[in-house]
Amino acid sequence: IKEREKNNFKLFTEDMNYHFYRKMMIEKELREAVERNEFELYYQPLADIDTGLVSGMEALLRWKNKTLGVVSPAEFIPIAEETGLIIPIGEWVLKSACEQAFNWQQMGYRPLKVGVNISIRQLLDKNFLKKVATVVENSKLDPRYIDLEVTESIAMHDSDEMISKLYRLKEIGVSLSMDDFGTGYSSLSYLKKYPLDTLKIDQSFIRNITKKKDNQAIVNSIISMAKHLNLKVTAEGVENKEEYQFLSNLHCDFVQGYDISRPLNAEDFENNILVTN
């Protein structure tokens, strides 16, 4: 038993070292990733549930590094947030997404709203409003085609300052979505204080919705609450026709997920999703 405990401890510390080392590597490489042009945006379509027509897209960050290879956002975004690197990275994302959306409109494709993920670190940055205003203006994209996706973590900073910041973002002309709705915060009182346009129901509630009664109850309630609050609802992670149909019966507004399309690089999105006017 002694021997085994010793071995377990050795495995445990090796594991710790590995994670520590990997995190350090990611942080080190992340520092130079913007300058080295290692990021790319993928785009995933959102569809109007009634017509099935693509009505928007979400920009999703991809990172390919020469030593680490492809690192998933689930791994590097938290590290970028912890280190504050998300501020320059997020600015690159917003700028690139706006430029891409503007270029596609210039090329004569039917305009789509582009969703950009905004981390709480960015929102708390005192220069954030000015940056958004500048980036949007420089891109020449009409701000009504920009949707900023924030998470419920903003509700933990329940200050008048956060509320007024969101109102000032709305004054720029962008819309606001609450991402991963239902996972982050227990109080719903923020819903009446914040100037939100859309709730994006987290994919964990959509998973197996055709079979799981509890998910059905939750999603049904979110949708009817949203209607009363005059908010649109997007269901995330819709993977098949059965889920799509089920959500349509619940009068969800928009769907996003593998059933419509996986996230695609700009070229594939242009060739397979965009339509001309």
- Does the footprint of ligand C2E cover residue 73 (CB under 6 A)? yes
- Does the footprint of ligand C2E cover residue 237 (CB under 6 A)? yes
Counting Cβ atoms within 10 Å, is residue 11 exposed (0-12), middle (13-18) or buried (19+)?
exposed
The stretch among 5-13, 19-27, 45-53, 256-264 that binds ligand C2E (CB under 6 A) is: 256-264
Nearer to Ca ion (CB atom), residue 117 or residue 261 = 117
The stretch among 23-31, 155-163, 169-177, 255-263 that binds ligand C2E (CB under 6 A) is: 255-263
- Does the footprint of Ca ion cover residue 152 (CB under 5 A)? no
Backbone dihedral angles phi then psi of residue 63, each to the nearest 5 degrees: -130, 125
Q: Which does 88 bind (CB under 5 to 8 A by kind): Ca ion, ligand C2E, none?
A: none
- Does the footprint of ligand C2E cover residue 177 (CB under 6 A)? no
- Does the footprint of ligand C2E cover residue 78 (CB under 6 A)? no
151 vs 86: CA distance, rounded Å: 15
114 vs 94: CA distance, rounded Å: 10
135 vs 122: CA distance, rounded Å: 14
- Does the footprint of ligand C2E cover residue 12 (CB under 6 A)? no
Give min distance, CB of 184 to ligand C2E, in A: 11
Q: Is the Cα torsion angle 41, 42, 48, 52 positive or negative in sign?
A: positive
Nearer to ligand C2E (CB atom), residue 179 or residue 253 = 179
* Contact assessment for residue 115 and residue 177, using Cβ atoms and an 8 Å cutoff: yes
145 vs 111: CA distance, rounded Å: 8
List Cβ<8 Å contacts ≥24 apart for 47-53: 47/254, 47/255, 47/256, 47/260, 48/253, 48/254, 49/244, 49/247, 49/248, 49/252, 49/253, 49/254, 49/255, 50/248
Give residue for tokens 């409109």. 105
- Does the footprint of Ca ion cover residue 151 (CB under 5 A)? no
- Does the footprint of ligand C2E cover residue 180 (CB under 6 A)? yes
Nearer to Ca ion (CB atom), residue 68 or residue 76 = 76
Q: Which residue is nearest to ligand C2E (CB)?
A: 257
- Does the footprint of ligand C2E cover residue 258 (CB under 6 A)? yes
Q: Which does 93 bind (CB under 5 to 8 A by kind): ligand C2E, Ca ion, none?
A: ligand C2E
Site string for ligand C2E, 115-154 (x = CB under 6 A): --x-x-----------------------------------
Backbone dihedral angles phi then psi of residue 142, each to the nearest 5 degrees: -60, 120
Closest CA to 129 of 158, 169, 72, 86: 169
Size of the site for ligand C2E (CB under 6 A): 21
Task: Please state the length of the chain.
Answer: 277
Binding-site ranges for ligand C2E (CB under 6 A): 44, 60-61, 72-74, 77, 86, 90, 93, 117, 119, 179-180, 203, 237-239, 257-258, 263
